[in-house]
């Protein structure tokens, strides 16, 4: 799957981030806990240089908790870096972020003026939801479609802590086909840029390899086939996406992916550290 979805305002965002980076104290990047490597923008590492870095794994309630712990350990081993997994179900965890930033910046405790934190993330990873949680009210647009944030804005969280919010920054598509499939499966790419039958086969194949019992239990198919084609056919017949032996793979693919994204089949992680992270581009 080759995806080239790079709206013009995102190139403007990249340039603006580069301009203001020298004036910020810390960089916060929000990634999807289900695919922490694929949802990390490789440009951010270059842009931030040696700035202190807080990695936020959002939507952790949708991810495999054991694998999320492995990812947190991976980033906490990096220099000048901390990592935290959050969920919209437990706002108290997200509200510890200002304190975690202070621990990354002990020399800032006596400074005049607030700590400036630049918050970044590719589209639809939950960045705006996190900002609204930190502020305690809606100040950033939230939606299920990527690219909600259009312009950079400064947000005062506390007198000691200011966020600089930048539009979701993506890049002109990865050369790694698996990265593109993972991004599409998570909802980070607009539906108009993909084909649901193709994506449905990818998602089902992955689930059969890693989480077959979750598919079987959710769709109530005890004799689930071990090929993506046949398993999707079984789901199609159970969900009314087939007439006789004729299966509408476009329709059942969309159904399967949407319910997977929503976490209806249980917590799922699309990648593990130490392998996928180093081969993501």
Record the tokens describing residue 65, joined without a space. Answer: 């908790």
Pairing of strands 115-120, 81-85: unpaired
| CA distance linking residue 266 with residue 119, whole number of Å | 29
What's the rounded Cα separation, in Å, for the pair 167 and 11? 10
What is the model's pLDDT at position 281? 47
Q: What is the mean pLDDT of residues 186-197?
A: 81
Among 144, 174, 147, 127, smallest CA distance to 12 is for 147
Confidence of residue 113 (pLDDT cuts 50, 70, 90): confident
pLDDT for 212-238, tens place per residue?
A: 999 999 999 999 999 999 999 999 999
pLDDT in the model for residue 149: 47
What is the average pLDDT across 206-217? 98
Distance separating alpha carbons of residues 48 and 96, to the nearest angstrom: 23
The string of pLDDT tens digits covering residues 50-88 is 899 999 999 999 999 999 999 999 999 998 999 999 987
Rounded Cα distance between 74 and 83, Å, is: 9
What six digits make up the tokens of 203?
Answer: 């998602």
Look at residue 11 in the predicted model and tell me its pLDDT: 64
Instruction: Kindly report whether the global pTM for this prediction surpasses the value 0.95.
Output: no
pLDDT tens track for 128-147: 889 888 888 777 554 444 44
- Looking at per-residue pLDDT, the higher value among 215 and 170 belongs to 215
- Can you give the pLDDT at residue 16? 80
The region of weakest confidence among 106-110, 118-122, 205-209, 239-243 is 106-110
Alpha-carbon dihedral sign for residues 146, 149, 151, 152: negative
Are the beta carbons of 52 and 104 closer than 8 angstroms?
yes
Reading the block at residue 44, the tokens are: 């951010």
**Which 3 state secondary structure label does DSSP give 156?**
strand
The confidence score (pLDDT) of residue 108 equals 56
Among candidate residues 33, 42, 143, 153, the one with its CA nearest the CA of residue 94: 33
Angle between helices 228-238 and 249-261 (to 10 degrees): 90
- Set out the domains of the chain in order of their start, with CATH numbers: 8-173 (3.40.50.300), 195-261 (1.10.1580.10)
CA 221 to chain centre: 30
């Amino acid at each position: 799957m080759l995806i080239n979805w790079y709206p013009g305002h995102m190139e403007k965002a990249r340039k603006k981030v580069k301009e203001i980076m020298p004036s910020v104290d810390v960089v916060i990047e929000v990634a999807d806990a289900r695919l922490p490597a694929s949802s990390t923008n490789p440009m951010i590492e270059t842009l931030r240089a040696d700035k202190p870095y807080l990695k936020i794994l959002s939507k952790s309630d949708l991810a495999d908790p054991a694998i999320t712990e492995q990812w947190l350990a991976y980033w906490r081993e990096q220099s000048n870096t901390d990592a935290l997994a959050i969920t919209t179900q437990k706002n108290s965890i997200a509200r510890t972020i200002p304190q975690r930033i202070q621990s990354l910046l002990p020399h800032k405790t006596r400074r005049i003026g607030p700590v400036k934190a630049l918050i970044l993330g590719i589209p639809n990873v939950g960045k705006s939801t996190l900002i609204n949680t930190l502020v305690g009210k809606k100040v950033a647009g939230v939606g299920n479609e990527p690219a909600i944030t259009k312009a950079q804005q400064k947000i005062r969280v506390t007198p000691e802590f200011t966020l600089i919010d930048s539009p979701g920054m993506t890049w002109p598509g990865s050369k790694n086909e698996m990265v593109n499939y993972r991004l599409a499966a998570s909802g980070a790419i607009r539906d108009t840029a993909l084909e649901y039958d193709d994506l449905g086969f990818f998602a089902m194949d992955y689930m059969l390899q890693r989480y077959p019992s979750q598919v079987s239990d959710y769709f109530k198919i005890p004799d689930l086939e071990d090929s993506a084609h046949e398993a999707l056919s079984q789901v199609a017949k159970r969900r009314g996406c087939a007439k006789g032996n004729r299966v509408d793979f476009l329709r059942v693919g969309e159904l399967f992916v949407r319910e997977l994204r929503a976490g209806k089949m249980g917590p799922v992680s699309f990648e593990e550290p130490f392998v996928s992270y180093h081969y993501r581009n």
